[in-house]
Amino acid sequence: MSTPRKIRLVVLISGRGSNLQAILDQAASGELPVEVAAVISNRLGVHGLERARQAGVPALELDHKHFADRPEFEAALIELIDQQQADLVVLAGFMRVLTAGFTEHYRGRLFNIHPSLLPKFRGLHTHERAIEAGETEHGASIHFVTAELDGGPIIVQARVPVLVGDDADTLAARVLEQEHRLYPLAIRWFAEQRLRLEGDQLYFDGQALTAPLRLESFTVA
């Protein structure tokens, strides 16, 4: 197989950027065929921006509070992303609900990671809710972003057990470990042109997916 060209990746964050770090590490090692063109945060001074700077990646701030409304902020965000000539945009702890105008602009090239086995537990506080619901299995999902909150086509999931005595923190730590494996894998598939979205249908290696892929089915180098 020929070496795929490096795609240009923009990462949107709002906080510490632990998934960002997993992406930066694999990009630096050459495992991930991407050039991280920029990291953009809607919150000023967050730790994820320092992670970007340490990796030599432009760390940009666009404070949503400086805009009159959501559409005005998103218009500025689109302009900033498009200046980077992004092939793929990934949300890595980006804590803003995005409107249809934004999601349609990047349709088919906008990923999100969510800490649950979607479609279960959309929204916030997923670990607490999984424990309260008596779930025996929990995990994380990568999906294409649409205007429906945490509702876009699901690409791949990683599962972890919910153990007796778990609280939200211990369960979150177990899920986060899998997130750091999951996100670079999905990005790699996109970069290698193994993954695409046509309409609402996902294709992987040319085959229509009828269910999300599962991380345990793949070897992660």
96 falls within a domain: yes
71 falls within a domain: yes
pLDDT at residue number 38: 98
CATH number at residue 54: 3.40.50.170
The proportion of the chain whose per-residue pLDDT surpasses 90, expressed as a percent, equals 94
- Of residues 10 and 219, which shows the higher confidence score? 10
- The answer on pLDDT for 120 being more than 60 is yes
190 falls within a domain: yes
165 falls within a domain: no
pTM (2 d.p.): 0.94
The proportion of the chain whose per-residue pLDDT surpasses 70, expressed as a percent, equals 96
pLDDT at residue number 217: 64
2 falls within a domain: no
Asked whether the beta carbons of 171 and 131 are under 8 A apart, the reply is yes
173 falls within a domain: no
**Containing domain of residue 185, as a range?**
7-120+139-157+179-217
65 contact partners, CB below 8 Å, separation of at least 6:
none
Q: Residue 173, Cα to own-chain centre: how many angstroms?
A: 17
Q: What is the pLDDT of residues 5-64, one digit of tens each?
A: 899 999 999 999 999 999 999 999 999 999 999 999 999 999 999 999 999 999 999 999
Asked whether the beta carbons of 32 and 23 are under 8 A apart, the reply is yes
133 falls within a domain: no
63 falls within a domain: yes
| Active-site position among 47, 66, 114, 125 | 114
Told to judge if 138 belongs to the known catalytic residues of this protein, a careful annotator would answer no
Task: Supply the mean pLDDT for the chain.
Answer: 95
- The answer on pLDDT for 218 being more than 80 is no
How many domains is the chain partitioned into structurally? Answer: 1
Residue 95 CB neighbour total at 10 angstroms: 13
pLDDT at residue number 221: 40
